[in-house]
A and B are shown apart, each in its own frame.
Chain A
Amino acid sequence: MQLNTDASSSLEKSKKTKRVMSLEKKESLQGYLFIAPWIIGFLVFMAGPLLFSLYGSFTNYNITSKMDFIGIENYIKMFTNDPLIWISLKNTLYYVALSVPLTTAGAVLLSVLLNQGVRGTRIFRTIYYLPAVLSGVGVYLLWMQLLSPSSGLVNTLLGWVGIEGPAWLSDPAWTKPALIFMKLWSLGGGMLLYLASLQGVSQSLYEAAEIDGANSFRKFWHITVPMITPVIFFDLVTSFIGAFQIFQEAYVMSDSGDGGPANSLVFFNLHMWNKAFEVFDMGYAMAMSWFLFIIILVLTVFNLVLAPRWVHYEGEDKK
């Protein structure tokens, strides 16, 4: 190749080579050009800040006045001198452990129901998906009204069936269940995924099962569920990661964003935010974020290791 003749190609030479650039080269150049925005974006807006925060976690960085290397002091402080971090971790785990299975099961159930082919499926699909489109703070404020203890719609409805509803967001024992309950409302996003995968399940499998005399529960359990496990797995992993990062809900729905009452809504990220932007202890907050990262990483790896035991890919050769 011409390029090989002179490694330290002068400007003239490189001009020449440009002209006779091979097709292969052109293609790869175009390829790199096409992914360049992402790569640049990743390097500048992700990898850069990521590395910075890793370094920052070993300093007493406070944004404006100091950034001295202090070794692993932040990490030591985390384990020895911050009782709130354990409360926040406990709250977060509580939330993850309840909300992830519930939303996943709810979404699967809902999509199976919608997949029965009854009339009006499209309308129901839209209705159930709608909450997933509405986002953020507006919805939370709406729910704060719905969950109001004496005049809220939720407790009014409960009252009709003779149940005296709890004080939801004012009672520390009910704040997290209230949040989980609220999150169930927006499981339409997951539902849509399942619906798509359900429609991909081959009818011939059901027909074969019917010939063998399988009832509808057995068909669901032995055909539907295994066939959609890849999607369940995907949904589980992503909502797992998402649930660990819960922040907005608690920030908006507790008095002045402090995670009250009685610290019942102090989630890990809320505590981190307070450390970073309320008291400017940015180095410590960075250390906290890396701690959370490691927790999520370990659990996700654990998930991936467990996956082959229950996730079934069509056409896969199981040994």
Chain B
Amino acid sequence: MSSLKKSISMLLLLVLSLGTILAGCGGGDEAGSEGKTDTASGSDGEVVEIDFWTFWGSETRRPIIEKIIEDFNSSQDRIKVKHTYLPWGDIWTKNLASIAAGNPADLIINDINAVAHRAQNNQNTNLSKYLEQEPEIKDRFFPELYNATLYEGDPYALPFNTDTRFLFWNKDMFEKAGLDPETPPTTWAELEEMGKKLDVKNGDKYERIGYLPNYGISSDVWMINADGKGYWDFEANKPVINDEKNVEALTWFKNYYDYYGDKVINSFKAEFGEQTADPFVAEKLAITTDNANFYTKLRDYGEDINFGVAPLPAMEEGSGNASWGGGFVAEIPKGAKHPDEAWEFLKYLTDVQAQEYWAVQGFDIVANIEAGEKASQSSELSEDGQKVFAQAVENMNQTLITPTPLEAPDYINIINPELEAVLLGDKTPQEALDAAQKAVEDLVESNK
């Protein structure tokens, strides 16, 4: 009897102590919501502090974004933006957890490709009520970027920065190989022909390669380049992975890849896998296809390289020079405490002044068209810098953004292994793309 009582009283003790802890938590919550009402009334005179999450903590990026914030804070006295840096690996899982807990940031930088996906899952805030009041804001952006922020016709974010791939070629190497240094390849056939001419071999070993397929960009970009379409037809809402042009593009890519073979390419890639070492900068590669931001490596480590920039070559003459890009948006997480103030800052962040500053200082392509054009003429950039930036801005008109389809959020994970199987020689391009098409169709079916 006494031992039973004892254990009951012990249990009680445990429950009580647990209760205290829970009460403690509850108390915290109450305090939190009180705080909320306090600041919510801040519209009349009081300063509202908003929390802005980014993953820009590097030596180069951090000072730029903090300067933009500082400029905003001193431009008015109603809203104070606080910058919270979270590492790349953490920021979006933390965002998710904080939204679920009802205590998210007021504004966050997030991936452009999954805006609609997050909207569908109640993770960000519909901005249409703000944009209805100021409809001209949407004209700031490259249409392709703005369209990527729509879910069921409503915007859920504003685009911030972007990127686009194009061609860099080494003029001196062209000249030495007997090619016209001012004429870059404009078609795939020319790229291959010139590339092979630029190879330098020492016995069996390549000392230099003209153009390396699967370095910088892979077959997916070439498939976009072929017909200006991605894997997904957004109008018909279905995957179009195995269409004719894609098969053709992948076949070309595979043949070109096999010209060098796995071994050469893998060891070449692995050797230059690290961020600081790039074969084009190290003058082991005569032509490369990369992001606009690649210029910063040339600027910092390849001063003597005499290079030119051009759009990606077209599949055939006149088939278009489509390229591929991604980027980031700024959005208000669902449940943010100060959406109105966050919107004010969001407007500032995507306006010409802030965007131009970001573009020039970070050498990054921005979503704001006017800011991009201004940046490409900025006196703070060198002649080369202006040249690359202008090419990037121009390239944006033919750059495709590939938002993740709602019906198949992880379709890339299904397609990529099939593309790898092609390069390994396990499957023909037709087989692999058919398999990918079917697997994605199945995925869509299972997510219905």
Q: Which B residues are in CB contact (< 8 Å) with A263?
A: 417, 420
Q: With A64-B99, A64-B100, A274-B413 as given contacts, are A1 and B2 in contact (CB-CB < 8 Å)?
A: yes
Interface-side segment among B14-22, B35-43, B281-289, B312-320: B14-22
Q: Mark A6-26, 1 if CB is under 8 A from B, else 0.
A: 010000000000000000010
- Chain A nearest Cβ from B23, distance in angstroms: 14
Q: CB distance B266 to A64 under 8 Å?
A: no
Would you call A135 an interface residue if the criterion is a C-beta within 8 Å of the partner chain's C-beta atoms?
Answer: no
Known A-B contacts A64-B121, A150-B267, A167-B267; A274 and B410 likewise in contact (beta carbons under 8 Å) = yes
Q: A32-B10, A274-B410, A280-B96 are in contact. List 7 more A-B contacts (CB 8 A).
A: A4-B1, A63-B99, A64-B96, A64-B100, A84-B413, A148-B270, A279-B410
Note all chain A residues with C-beta closer than 8 A to B120.
65
Is B424 part of the binding interface, using a Cβ–Cβ cutoff of 8 Å? yes
Q: Are A262 and B122 in contact (CB under 8 A)?
A: no
Contacts of A28 in B (CB 8 A): 6, 10
Interface pair A260/B420, CB less than 8 Å apart:
yes
**Whose C-beta in chain B lies nearest to the C-beta of A24?**
B6
From B18, B97, B100, B446, contact of A77 by CB (8 A)? B446
Shortest B380–chain A CB gap in Å is: 32
Q: Which chain B residue lies CB-closest to A35?
A: B14
User: Which of A168-176, A223-231, A233-241 faces chain B?
Assistant: A168-176
A277 within 8 A of B: yes
Most buried by B among A36, A63, A83, A260: A63
Query: Hey, which chain B residues are within 8 Å of A106, CB to CB?
Result: none
Name the distance in Å between A26's Cβ and chain B's nearest Cβ: 11
Task: Please report the C-alpha to C-alpha distance between residue A189 and residue B424 in the assembled complex, in whole angstroms.
Answer: 38
B123 at the interface (CB under 8 A from A): yes
Known contacts being A28-B6, A40-B21, A64-B334, is A148 close to B417, with CB within 8 Å? no
Answer whether residue B46 sits at the interface, using C-beta atoms and an 8 A cutoff.
no
Query: Assuming A4-B1, A36-B17, A172-B420, is B413 touching A151 (CB within 8 A)?
Result: no
Chain A residues, CB < 8 A from B93: 277
Contact with A along B86-112 (1 / 0, CB 8 A): 000000110011011000000000000
Closest 9 pairs between A and B when the two form their complex, measured CB to CB: A150-B267, A65-B122, A279-B409, A262-B420, A170-B266, A149-B267, A263-B417, A167-B266, A81-B446
Most buried by B among A3, A7, A65, A171: A65
Q: How far does the alpha carbon of A29 sit from the alpha carbon of B269 in the complex, in Å?
A: 65
| Contact yes or no, B121 A39, CB < 8 A | no
| The residue from B6, B14, B412 contacting A36, defined by CB atoms under 8 A apart | B14
Check A197 for interface membership: any CB of B closer than 8 A.
Answer: no
Could you give 18 example pairs across A and B, Cβ below 8 Å?
A28-B10, A29-B10, A32-B13, A40-B14, A63-B97, A63-B121, A65-B122, A144-B273, A149-B270, A150-B270, A167-B266, A167-B267, A170-B266, A170-B270, A258-B416, A262-B417, A274-B410, A280-B96
Task: For chain B, residues 255 to 280, give those with C-beta under 8 angstroms from any C-beta of chain A.
Answer: 262-263, 266-271, 273-274
What mask results when residues 418 to 433 of chain B are scored 1 for a CB within 8 Å of chain A, else 0?
0011001010000000
CA distance A81 to B262 in the complex (A): 32
B439 part of interface (Cβ distance < 8 Å): yes
A32 touches B14 (CB 8 A): yes
Q: Please name all residues of chain A whose beta carbon is closer than 8 Å to the beta carbon of B96 when the two chains form the complex.
A: 63-64, 277, 280
Give every chain B residue within 8 A of A245 (Cβ-Cβ): none
Asked if residues A278 and B100 are in contact (CB atoms below 8 Å), the reply is no
Q: Is A261 an interface residue (CB 8 A)?
A: yes
A144 to B10, CA, bound (A): 54
In the complex, which residues of chain A have a beta carbon less than 8 angstroms from the beta carbon of B201? none
Within the complex, which residue of B21, B266, B421 is in contact with A171, where a contact is CB–CB below 8 Å? B266
B218 CB → nearest A CB, Å: 10
In the complex, A279→B111 CA distance in Å? 13
Q: Hey, which chain B residues are within 8 Å of A281, CB to CB?
A: 409
A43 on the B face (CB < 8 A): yes
Nearest CB in chain B: distance from A42 CB, A: 11
A263 to B421, CA, bound (A): 10
Enumerate chain A interface residues (CB-CB to B < 8 A): 1, 3-4, 7, 25, 28-29, 32, 36, 39-40, 43-44, 62-66, 77, 81, 83-84, 144-145, 148-152, 167, 169-172, 258, 260-263, 274-275, 277-281
Q: Among the listed B1, B269, B409, B439, which residue makes an inter-chain contact with A170, where contact means beta carbons less than 8 Å apart?
A: B269
Known: A3-B2, A36-B17, A63-B100. A167 touches B270 (CB 8 A): yes
Q: In the complex, how many angstroms separate the beta carbon of B299 from the nearest chain A beta carbon?
A: 25
A233 CA to B359 CA in the complex, in Å?
A: 60
Compute how far the CA of A7 lies from the CA of B6 in the bound complex, rounded to whole angstroms.
12
**Residue numbers in B under 8 Å from A258 (CB-CB):** 412-413, 416
- In the bound assembly, the distance between CA atoms of A166 and B21 in angstroms comes to 56
A83 and B439 contact, Cβ closer than 8 Å, known pairs A167-B262, A278-B409: yes
Taking a contact as CB atoms under 8 Å apart, the answer to whether B14 and A39 are in contact is: yes
Q: A3-B5, A64-B99, A262-B417 are in contact. Are A43 and B18 (CB under 8 A)?
A: yes
Alpha-carbon gap, A144 to B275, bound state (A): 13
* Residue on B nearest A65 in the bound complex, by CB: B122
* Any A CB within 8 A of the CB of B442: yes
Contacts of B271 in A (CB 8 A): 148-151
Contacts known (A149-B266, A172-B424); A260 close to B416, Cβ less than 8 A = yes
When chains A and B are docked, how far (Å) is the Cα of A152 from the Cα of B122? 47
How far does the alpha carbon of A64 sit from the alpha carbon of B145 in the complex, in Å? 25
Say yes or no: B442 contacts A81, CB within 8 Å: yes
Chain A positions within 8 Å of B274 at CB level = 145
Specify the chain B residue showing the minimal Cβ separation from A261.
B420
